A and B are shown apart, each in its own frame.
Chain A
Amino acid sequence: MPVARTATAGADSTSLAILVRLRNNGVYVALALLVLFNLFFTTNFATAGTILGLLSQATFVLLVALGLTLVIGTGGIDLSVGAIMAIASAVIPLYLGYTWPVAVLVALIFCVLAGMLNGFLVAYVGMQPIVATLALFVGGRGFAQVLVNGQLQTISDPGFLALWRATVFGVPMPVVIAAVVAVLVGLLVGRTTFGRYVLAVGGNRTASYLSGHPVRIVLVAVYAISGLLAGLAGTLATARLAAGDPATIGLLIELDAIAAVVIGGTPLSGGRMNVGGTVAGAILMLVISATFVMNNINPIYAQMLKAAIIVLAVYIQQGRRES
């Protein structure tokens, strides 16, 4: 640490201030620039249909990333979110016979329990988060496929499918749901006692414990919320596909979601959360892909750009810590 400090000690304060501002708002700047670029250069981008469609597609990563923001805020990580989406997708068709709200409720309960299992392993057993959630990452999707014998379960229940297809004042239902969840998570982080506990646990777990905070309960809760939001994402993905397909739903989503959180300004070291940044980060990830697709450029390049943005985001965050 002393080395890092002396290295930046000479940096001039205005460039530091710019760096700090860039760190806090960089993701919005990047998103705005990319959207501007598309408005001018990408044909058919500036239509309500395109933009709402993009937002709808962004909801999966967004919902998962919101839950991950809390987990990462405690200094943890949740690799199992994709597998939990698969569990939701497998459970829903099994219970549709009891009306679709029951099916969704049962699926979400499964997902919360899966999240609580992660939290229990981290908080009570003392496993490292990456290891604890790796278990479910590997086993969860397997479990989901066993539930449906590895088969695709098509769904025709109109009430359930409306979760994806319905609109509210012209806005697609998934976008409405994601927006509501984002606001709720924002309130949770910014206004509630629970949000403060999360930051304290992530900032210094021992200090938090010695201040009388319910550290273990907080940890179990953040993984449970992460499971719940992944389950919600899995539900929407299932509605969109009109089928329960645990083999593909949520596959590798954890990578984009973690990237969205980090780009949004929530450091992996914990103790800091930026919900607005996560929202922008999730949308940014999708707009990058869309920009390449809509301009007929090989999406492989989009992946390379995402990688560059992740590295840049983390670099800027480190710049802040050393100052």
Chain B
Amino acid sequence: MSEQDYILEVRGVTKRFPGVLALDDVSFGLGTGEVHALVGENGAGKSTLIKVVTGVHRPDEGEIFFAGERVSFASPREAQEAGISTIYQDTNMVPLRSVAQNIFLGREPRNRFGLTDTARMKREAEELLGRYGIEADVTVPVRSLGVGVQQMVAVAKAVSLDARGVIMDEPTSSLEAREVETLFGVIRQLREEGVGVLYVSHRLEELYEICERVTVMRDGKVVHTGDLEELPRLQLIAAMLGREAPEVEERISSSTAREHVTGELILEARGLTAHHAPRDVSLEVHAGEVVGLSGLLGSGRTETVKAVFGARHLESGTVSVEGEEVDPGSPSEAIKSGLAFVPEDRKAEGIIAELSVRENIVAAALPRLSHGGFVSRKEQDRLVERFMDRLGIKASSPDQPVGELSGGNQQKVMLARWLCMGPKVLILDEPTQGIDVGAKAEVQRLISELADDGLGVVMIDSEPEEIVEGSDRVVVLRDGGVVGTLSGGELTEENLVHMIAGSGDSEPKEDGGDASG
């Protein structure tokens, strides 16, 4: 594709945030009438790239061209007016206003008195939706529509702005299969009209169905751009995760799995099913065993462990600890049964930033430390002292607000919160995310030691290498369901990447048959 055909081009863009190089000399081009996939794991820089292109962030270095002209958008609105529309996961619509009002928000057709011409607005909205085969009553509030239809309306709105570039960020994450088809119909029509579509999704099957080209990002850099047909699924994933496909194969069995002594069955989850995810997931964890939970983002890993921990409403399924069924839907019941959960998003769900290290460590132990409604200071301080010491938590004093600590120390506080409970099963969602290398090694060693002491561990980790090294057994999820389990000699990075990608099994639309070999 020659450069003249680019509707949107990014040249050498660098964007720094305090302490992070979010985009590192990124160049990228979106052609007219093409659907271009943008992929990468969390933190790869996709969102930052989108924000730079749409005027949310200013690039520190580099240039952006739109329709052949150099642009520098100061706000998303400017980008939109120039012809770049963005559709986010959570549609940015006004929930209580009608579909028609939303579509024409801020640019309502006027009648000769200068008032909104409701009839015309309704008519044009209906025409617009009809053109793309979207069925919705344009007079009802957007909120009353299903999420899928809302998404379609958002797309229609974007298109009606005469956009020449449309950016879709995980547009199908909340859509039903049928709605996805409708969306793809809309995208195909856009392509015919010469619109460039940048399509961000973690659902690889979709990419192969709708996109022609792909750009893979990792650690703020573009690591691959090319035709999607020429990049089989395995290589696409290898690129996302930073493993060359041949390298992955060389590593076969070289990674040392944990020396594994299986004790008694402690945790047994049967047929866990909740809205969206998990779907009929069963898990078993034995004493002294580290069970890894793997899969791409959106595969339902976090939802599964939250369901086990009672933090997600179950439609069906049971969780038992040492043969005793746990009352569903309540973390406090799960904790009483001996489960512990370190969530992925430490800031939002884990630490209580304003409270002290002491308060954060004893948070889960409070019911146990209280006698007649009063907290035993002595017991509490002993516990805090012991675990700060054992985990090597570096804080000026137990009174320091936990928000002031480094990521690694915050994570240790989270671990201390649960270890002081003497749990039977420890569930860890991305325990090494956002902490530095040294702390990472410490946390990994600690997890291994705990398992050796007879604790059952369930661990989610996006790094195939880490999860292969750290686990006795890995359960792979896709679309909320279990697709397979790897253990013993089978547990290698290559097998894992294959299984995550879903190559070789029940994938009729597999592009590039060599991936399954």
Report which of B17, B332, B350, B362 forms a contact with A207, defined as CB distance below 8 A: B350
A26 adjacent to chain B (CB < 8 Å):
no
A212 adjacent to chain B (CB < 8 Å):
yes
> Which residues between 152 and 205 of chain A lie within 8 Å of chain B, taking CB atoms?
191-194, 196-197, 199-200, 203-204
**When the two chains form their complex, are residues A199 and B350 in contact, meaning their CB atoms are under 8 A apart?**
no
Residues in chain A near residue B331, CB distance under 8 A = 209-212
**When the two chains form their complex, are residues A196 and B343 in contact, meaning their CB atoms are under 8 A apart?**
no
B375 adjacent to chain A (CB < 8 Å):
yes
Residues in chain B near residue A213, CB distance under 8 A = 332, 363, 366
Report which of A191, A194, A203, A209 forms a contact with B311, defined as CB distance below 8 A: A209
Residues in chain B near residue A2, CB distance under 8 A = 17-18
B367 adjacent to chain A (CB < 8 Å):
yes
B341 adjacent to chain A (CB < 8 Å):
yes
Report which of B334, B336, B354 forms a contact with A203, defined as CB distance below 8 A: B354
Complex Cα spacing A210 to B351, Å: 10
**When the two chains form their complex, are residues B348 and A206 in contact, meaning their CB atoms are under 8 A apart?**
yes
Query: Known contacts A210-B341, A210-B343, A211-B417; is A203 also within 8 Å of B352 by CB?
Result: yes
Complex Cα spacing A211 to B350, Å: 8
B319 adjacent to chain A (CB < 8 Å):
no
Chain B 321-359 per-residue mask, 1 if CB under 8 angstroms from chain A, else 0: 000000000011011100001010000111111110001
Report which of A194, A214, A271 forms a contact with B352, defined as CB distance below 8 A: A271
Complex Cα spacing A103 to B144, Å: 48
Report which of A191, A194, A203, A206 forms a contact with B355, defined as CB distance below 8 A: A203
Dominant secondary structure at the A interface: helix
Residues in chain B near residue A272, CB distance under 8 A = 354
B106 adjacent to chain A (CB < 8 Å):
no
Which B residue sits closest to A191, measured CB to CB?
A: B374
- What is the size, in residues, of chain B's interface with A at 8 Å between Cβ atoms? 31
A208 adjacent to chain B (CB < 8 Å):
yes
Which A residue sits closest to B402, measured CB to CB?
A: A203
**When the two chains form their complex, are residues A191 and B375 in contact, meaning their CB atoms are under 8 A apart?**
yes
Query: Known contacts A197-B366, A208-B363, A210-B341; is A271 also within 8 Å of B354 by CB?
Result: yes
Complex Cα spacing A191 to B362, Å: 14
Complex Cα spacing A200 to B17, Å: 30
Residues in chain B near residue A211, CB distance under 8 A = 331, 335, 363-364, 366, 417
**When the two chains form their complex, are residues B349 and A210 in contact, meaning their CB atoms are under 8 A apart?**
yes
Q: Which of A5, A194, A203, A206 has the most CB of B within 10 A?
A: A203
B118 adjacent to chain A (CB < 8 Å):
no
**When the two chains form their complex, are residues B374 and A206 in contact, meaning their CB atoms are under 8 A apart?**
no
Report which of A191, A204, A210, A212 forms a contact with B367, defined as CB distance below 8 A: A212
Complex Cα spacing A202 to B477, Å: 35
Dominant secondary structure at the B interface: mixed
Query: Known contacts A210-B349, A212-B331, A271-B354; is A193 also within 8 Å of B363 by CB?
Result: no
Complex Cα spacing A204 to B351, Å: 8
Residues in chain A near residue B335, CB distance under 8 A = 211-212
Whole-angstrom distance from the CB of B311 to the nearest CB of chain A? 6
Query: Known contacts A192-B375, A210-B341, A212-B367; is A199 also within 8 Å of B355 by CB?
Result: yes
Whole-angstrom distance from the CB of B413 to the nearest CB of chain A? 11
Residues in chain A near residue B348, CB distance under 8 A = 204, 206-207
Residues in chain A near residue B370, CB distance under 8 A = 192-193
Q: Which of B332, B348, B359 has the most CB of A within 10 A?
A: B332
Complex Cα spacing A314 to B366, Å: 31
Q: Which of A192, A206, A210, A212 has the most CB of B within 10 A?
A: A212
Report which of B334, B353, B373, B417 forms a contact with A204, defined as CB distance below 8 A: B353
Which A residue sits closest to B362, measured CB to CB?
A: A196
**When the two chains form their complex, are residues B355 and A271 in contact, meaning their CB atoms are under 8 A apart?**
yes
**When the two chains form their complex, are residues A200 and B18 in contact, meaning their CB atoms are under 8 A apart?**
no
Query: Known contacts A200-B359, A211-B364; is A193 also within 8 Å of B351 by CB?
Result: no
Chain B 16-42 per-residue mask, 1 if CB under 8 angstroms from chain A, else 0: 011000000000000000000000000
Complex Cα spacing A213 to B369, Å: 13
Complex Cα spacing A27 to B315, Å: 52
Report which of B17, B341, B373, B417 forms a contact with A192, defined as CB distance below 8 A: B373
> Which residues between 204 and 242 of chain A lie within 8 Å of chain B, taking CB atoms?
204, 206-214
Complex Cα spacing A6 to B19, Å: 13
Whole-angstrom distance from the CB of B406 to the nearest CB of chain A? 15
Residues in chain B near residue A203, CB distance under 8 A = 352-355
Which B residue sits closest to A5, measured CB to CB?
A: B18
Whole-angstrom distance from the CB of A11 to the nearest CB of chain B? 16
Whole-angstrom distance from the CB of A272 to the nearest CB of chain B? 6
Whole-angstrom distance from the CB of A124 to the nearest CB of chain B? 14
Residues in chain B near residue A192, CB distance under 8 A = 370, 373-375
Complex Cα spacing A6 to B350, Å: 25
Whole-angstrom distance from the CB of A164 to the nearest CB of chain B? 32
Which B residue sits closest to A193, measured CB to CB?
A: B370
Complex Cα spacing A271 to B353, Å: 9
**When the two chains form their complex, are residues B349 and A207 in contact, meaning their CB atoms are under 8 A apart?**
yes
Whole-angstrom distance from the CB of B368 to the nearest CB of chain A? 10
Residues in chain A near residue B364, CB distance under 8 A = 211-212
Complex Cα spacing A208 to B331, Å: 10
Complex Cα spacing A85 to B336, Å: 41
**When the two chains form their complex, are residues B349 and A206 in contact, meaning their CB atoms are under 8 A apart?**
yes
Whole-angstrom distance from the CB of A269 to the nearest CB of chain B? 8
Residues in chain A near residue B343, CB distance under 8 A = 210
Complex Cα spacing A213 to B309, Å: 14
**When the two chains form their complex, are residues A199 and B366 in contact, meaning their CB atoms are under 8 A apart?**
no
Q: Which of B354, B370, B373 has the most CB of A within 10 A?
A: B354
Residues in chain B near residue A197, CB distance under 8 A = 366
Residues in chain B near residue A196, CB distance under 8 A = 359, 362, 366, 375
Which A residue sits closest to B371, measured CB to CB?
A: A193
Residues in chain B near residue A206, CB distance under 8 A = 348-349
**When the two chains form their complex, are residues B374 and A200 in contact, meaning their CB atoms are under 8 A apart?**
no
- A-B pairs with beta carbons under 8 Å apart, 7 shown: A192-B370, A193-B367, A199-B355, A204-B349, A206-B349, A211-B331, A213-B332
Top 4 nearest A-B pairs (CB, nearest first) are: A212-B332, A193-B370, A203-B352, A212-B335
Using A204-B351, A209-B331 as known contacts, list a sample of 7 further A-B pairs with CB atoms less than 8 Å apart, ordered by residue number in A. A193-B373, A194-B373, A203-B354, A209-B311, A210-B349, A210-B350, A272-B354
Residues of B within 8 A of A (CB): 17-18, 309, 311, 331-332, 334-336, 341, 343, 348-355, 359, 362-364, 366-367, 369-370, 373-375, 417
